Structure 1
Amino acid sequence: LPFATILLGQHRLTALLQFGFRNCTACCGRMPPKKQVKGKKKEGTGKKSAAPAPLAKKTVRVVKRVVNPLFERRVKNYGIGQNVQPKRDLSRFVRWPKYIRIQRHRAILQKRLKVPPPINQFTQTLDRPTAQQLFKVLDKYRPESPIAKVQRLKAKAEAKAAGKDEPPSKRALGVRQGVNTVVKLIEQKKAQLVVIAHDVDPIELVVYLPALCRKMGVPYCIVKGKARLGTLVYRKTCTCLALTQVDNSDKANFAKLVETVQANFNERHEEIRKHWGGGLLGPKSMARLAKLERAKAKELAQKK
């Protein structure tokens, strides 16, 4: 009894002695047996339903890879000091030279900012087939090369030293180059065709030439680019060229060329004068505007 008193406690032991071990639910915490409710049907009675058909198992074809035992598989570790890293496009991480960064910034700014018509007209160049015909004509009237000039002057000096008198030679037909020379020919109305490069830097050197040609009634055209014009006159670059005269054999082709040039440039003055350039948005700005448009469309759809 003293040991039972320690385990159960004084009050529980008293209840056990008074009421017995079978009816001690209050002290021992045993739950009475559940009463069965009459009237409830047992589950599973009635008609048995047919079992559903098992799903057909999908057959997966396993393709066995033929492994050549001569080639060993070597797992690569791309940690520091381990295998060579795979090649990646690192153009965004390159420290480009300053002139490349400047020309890229300039190209983006020219797209973003609004460009006035006098400057924007230099983006509208002569079409390719007409430009090919033009350069074929200009190639026939290239000026004298530096080597040919040296040979001519050398022969002239030898003839003079030998005592031979040569009559003064006329200037050969050819293209005239340089802004000052071309402007003078336009003002004197001697130029029959003026060719201007589209990428002159600074643009102020030639920005007034189209207006001057229209004012004086001289056909002009804008072509790509200053390096291509430079090759015609044996220079690296050239801003503009002028043709003053052509041979009789080329007059028919030259007349057609001038007619095409006038239709594309001289007669389109009003259209060119009103056409602004630039003002293009970047991808981030376009995405922001598209997001706002989607939000507005969603609000309208909800209101309806």
Structure 2
Amino acid sequence: MCRGGVDVPRCRSGGPPPGSPSPLQHQQSVDRAVQDAEPHRLTGAECARAGHQTHHERITRQITSPPQSVQAPDSAGGVVAEVEVLPSPRARGICTTTTTGNQFGGARPTERRRGEVNGMTAAPNDAVPGQRSVLADRVSRVVTSFNAFLTLIALGYGIYTMFQATPEDLIVNAWRTFGFLVFFSLWVLVTVWPRQVPGAWELIFVHKVAITVFALTLGNVPGARETALVDGWLVLSGVLAYVLCRGWSAWRPLSRGRADAGNPVGSRA
């Protein structure tokens, strides 16, 4: 790797002109030409100010094309050094210039966000793309912690009613009580790892929205109003917490994994 993220640079001489010095001097000329061609990075804004925007756009368009070759003449020895740039997968173009005024288009791999291991993010929960308020994250965790506490109360009440139930109602009460245990676990998951467990938020929403709508349609059936109030609160507060902590970002490692699977890097030269 050479500086600038360019993969596998290969330099070759165009051959010494007639009457040139010894092969050693010829090689030194080649080395000087390559050294002159060493790129100096420019940002996109600097490229535009320097009038290199057209070249930058051309390199960006060609970054997934076959290998590019650029030439840098050495003013001292009259030798042309040709640098072949092999584009990398998942790369973006960079606008550069050289000490001799020659422009080079390089490629560098897009950096992976730190802490990604087997599709799961091992970095702290703060390390997610975009601007996000720490206060919003804390509010989200307070809300989900409160919902977990409410579910824990329901779990305790379910255990009590399960032992008080008649044999005819025992299975139904046991099934409902173990359901409270599942949802308590889900609330704990989204509290501790709000952006690392894809699907946890969505499972909560699907169930709570369904039971709330069903309870509202029952009207005056005993327990329907209380169920609609409690589960309605869980839906509204859960959506608020989901937005505050950007819970949808839990799916990003999976989408990146699918993109990587469709773009293998084993064929890199």
- Which structure has more RCO (C-alpha within 8 Å, separation ≥ 6)? 1
Q: TM-score when scaled to structure 1?
A: 0.20
Q: TM-score when scaled to structure 2?
A: 0.22
- Rg (Cα) greater in structure: 1
Higher strand share: 2
